[in-house]
Structure 1
Amino acid sequence: MDNTDYRQNITVQYCFPDNNASCRKEVHGGPGFIFVFIFLSCISVCTVFLNLLVIISISHFKQLHTPTNLLILSLSVADLLVGLIVMPVNILQLIDSCWYYGKIACIIFPLFCYLSVLASVFSLVLIAVDRYIAVCDPLLYTSRVTNCKMSMCIILGWSSCLLYDVILYYYNDHLIPTQLYETCHGECLLVIQHSWVIFDLVVSFVMPCSVIVILYAFIFNVARNQAKTIRAISDGASQKRRTEISGSSHTKAAKKLGTIIFVYLACWIPYYISSLCVESMTSSSMVWTVFTFVLYMNSALNPLLYSVFYSWFRVSVKYIVTCKIFESSSSRFNLALCLTVQ
């Protein structure tokens, strides 16, 4: 009975019926796969929509042209590419095992996929560095961190990610991380060797994660010391009020930093744990598919963590949805003033 149900859910066809060298494709049906398809498609759409709102907001409103927001813009661009290109291609391959995009796309797609994810991680690291400087050296922050310097850092970071990706994928004879196989027309099979997984684990996860956790630990410690200083210099009737304010802000900062670190680790750890448990992984395996999408979900959660919870984002979204951004003076609108009025 189980075998009969399985055959009913999987129909063997050909990717290119007119080509004798065509691969066979497996079209997965049934309620389970339909639910997975709808669920993953919704994640992809939400990823594109949320990151697009962030990009439009920061790009349009001149008040939001700050070094920190430039980093959030860089993060949103990387996450937008994940939701717009990487996720849909992987969803289609999950439902239909064929590769319809040709040999060149088969070579370029892994490069593009990894560049998007790596650029997203790099932006997260830069955001942690930016917040560390802002909290630990607030008086000199505006002079040390400018829009021009931040733009150069972002360009340099993306270029470094691209160079790292190209060298490791195509030009390093001593460290060949992946192999692309095409045994028939319509197949693009990516095999990742165990040695590459270990190296990538260190470069793409351990190092960035260590930097983010250490910097946010310093930020948390500095914020706590600042709260103690405020309580120490407070006296009289204002002491209780200032203590309540500092304690509230301290709690909010701790929750935000804890959420950022937890989400980052939750999205990345499953992929690398599963990768280390086998000698090699292929892009056709279900383990690869599941944990890769868990990793990609970080791109959908990033705009929620870094933008949606910010008050300026809510105001800017209101202007975007109501099409008021098309007004001639909307780019110079004072979002802080609008928040005060509301």
Structure 2
Amino acid sequence: MDKQDYRQNITVQYCFPDNNASCRKEVKEGPGYMFLCFILSCLSVCTVFLNLLVIISISHFKQLHTPTNLLILSLAVADFLVGLFVMPVNIMQLMDSCWYLGTIACYISPVINFVSMLGSLCSLILIAFDRYIAITDPLQYSTRITIRKTLLSIILGWFSYMCYIIMLLYFNDYFFQSQISTHCYGECVLVIKYSWAIIDLVVSFLAPCCVILFLYSVIFKVAIHQAKAISAVKNGASNKHGAKTIKSSEIKAAKKLATVIFVYLACWIPYYLSSVSVDSLSSSSMVWTVFGWLININSSVNPLIYAIFYSWFRASVKYIVTCRIFETSSSRFSLFLEH
């Protein structure tokens, strides 16, 4: 598309024609933009629907009320918020440069955006610790990891990240004055300065990801050792540590959840690389738009991973879509194949 065609596809108007302080807006028109909006809207709906299935499944069926599944529920809630709030707002800003939701929503929107995304990170950190204890100390797992302790960890984790985001955005004059731009009526642009990007890179990415990768490296090291021990037992060798042999189901669960970690890193690394490569990154820039949507797609992929790897999720979805969850005692239905 040359410059002339591009100008023909963008009509310059005003966000609020009756207001003298109104910003000028750029309404992107043409079949290409309409198709893109349609695809992204479908992605938002699918993200909400798929994660809602995960939320209903784990919340309704008692067989799924385990510490690990509670952490998966926390991850699904974060992804659900992304599909319900973050994606629609991003679609609106992609198709129209104006902000129609008001000043208060302009300041609240970044909080919802970052908290929902960091809620995913919090859940992944806790999942890594959960699998680490399950693999390295299986005999004490049921006493060390309980539903109550897991719920408390989730609440503290989400609350900590919420305080972190609010503090950086609103309770620091340096960041407050430069982060959110509202120079005219109808503008809401978030600007991430280089200093803020460095802090966020360490706090929200490098430190937690190093912890996650370290825990999973230990997990798979122990899993390999135990696999060799099991092989030795099958070959008739003595196993002095047989009581501590890890169940194969635990190893499979760690591998499945490691896939979620890998996808998360693949979606987030481009964003952080771009944020530290420039002096400031604006929410209105093309780089932010492309890599921001790559992060959003991560929230759509997670429930698909569950559908591929977890038989209980596929079984629970059948009960949900056929409305059998409304039957008496449906919460006690068996979701696992009998062996």
TM-score w.r.t. the length of structure 2 is 0.91
C-alpha distance in 2 between matches for 1:65 and 1:39:
35
C-alpha distance in 2 between matches for 1:177 and 1:295:
26
Please state whether the residue corresponding to 1:335 is helix, strand or coil.
coil
C-alpha distance in 1 between matches for 2:217 and 2:121:
18
Partner of 2:76: 76
Specify whether residues 63 and 228 from structure 1 end up closer, same or farther in structure 2 by C-alpha distance, changes over 3 A only: same
Partner of 2:338: 340
Please state whether the residue corresponding to 2:18 is helix, strand or coil.
coil
- 1:230-245 alignment, distance < 5 Å: 230-235=230-235
Q: Map Cα deviations across residues 39-68 of structure 1 (whole Å, 9 max, x no partner).
A: 222221121111100000011111111111
Specify whether residues 163 and 45 from structure 1 end up closer, same or farther in structure 2 by C-alpha distance, changes over 3 A only: same
C-alpha distance in 2 between matches for 1:216 and 1:174:
38
C-alpha distance in 1 between matches for 2:77 and 2:176:
29
Partner of 2:325: 325
C-alpha distance in 2 between matches for 1:340 and 1:213:
34
Q: Map Cα deviations across residues 4-47 of structure 1 (whole Å, 9 max, x no partner).
A: 31122111111112222211111112233223212222221121
Specify whether residues 276 and 230 from structure 1 end up closer, same or farther in structure 2 by C-alpha distance, changes over 3 A only: same
Specify whether residues 258 and 70 from structure 1 end up closer, same or farther in structure 2 by C-alpha distance, changes over 3 A only: closer
Q: Confirm or deny: 8 A CA contact 1:216 1:257 kept in the other structure.
A: no
Q: Confirm or deny: 8 A CA contact 1:26 1:96 kept in the other structure.
A: yes
1:286 aligns with 2:286: yes
C-alpha distance in 2 between matches for 1:90 and 1:308:
28
- 1:88-103 alignment, distance < 5 Å: 88-103=88-103
Q: CA deviation at 1:250?
A: 10
Provide the aligned C-alpha RMSD in A: 2.2
Match for 2:22: what amino acid?
S
Partner of 2:136: 136
Q: CA deviation at 1:165?
A: 1.3
Q: CA deviation at 1:258?
A: 5.6
Match for 1:340: what amino acid?
E
Question: Number of paired residues?
Answer: 329
Q: Which moved more, 1:48-57 or 1:257-266?
A: 257-266
Q: Confirm or deny: 8 A CA contact 1:168 1:177 kept in the other structure.
A: no
Q: Confirm or deny: 8 A CA contact 2:131 2:254 kept in the other structure.
A: no
- 1:50-69 alignment, distance < 5 Å: 50-69=50-69
Q: CA deviation at 1:175?
A: 5.9
C-alpha distance in 2 between matches for 1:26 and 1:221:
54
Partner of 1:163: 163
Structure 1's consecutive aligned runs of 4 or more residues displaced over 4 angstroms after TM superposition are: 173-178, 248-255
Q: Map Cα deviations across residues 101-137 of structure 1 (whole Å, 9 max, x no partner).
A: 0000011111111111111100011011101111111
Structure 2: where are the runs of 5+ without partners?
237-245
Partner of 2:118: 118
Fraction of identical pairs, as percent: 66
Structure 1: where are the runs of 5+ without partners?
237-245
Specify whether residues 217 and 307 from structure 1 end up closer, same or farther in structure 2 by C-alpha distance, changes over 3 A only: farther
Partner of 1:13: 13
Q: Which moved more, 1:281-290 or 1:1-10?
A: 1-10
Please state whether the residue corresponding to 1:13 is helix, strand or coil.
strand
Q: Confirm or deny: 8 A CA contact 1:55 1:77 kept in the other structure.
A: yes
Q: Confirm or deny: 8 A CA contact 1:52 1:80 kept in the other structure.
A: yes
Please state whether the residue corresponding to 1:186 is helix, strand or coil.
coil
C-alpha distance in 1 between matches for 2:253 and 2:80:
27
Specify whether residues 48 and 257 from structure 1 end up closer, same or farther in structure 2 by C-alpha distance, changes over 3 A only: closer
Q: Map Cα deviations across residues 235-288 of structure 1 (whole Å, 9 max, x no partner).
A: 36xxxxxxxxx9x98996786466334312210111011111110011111111
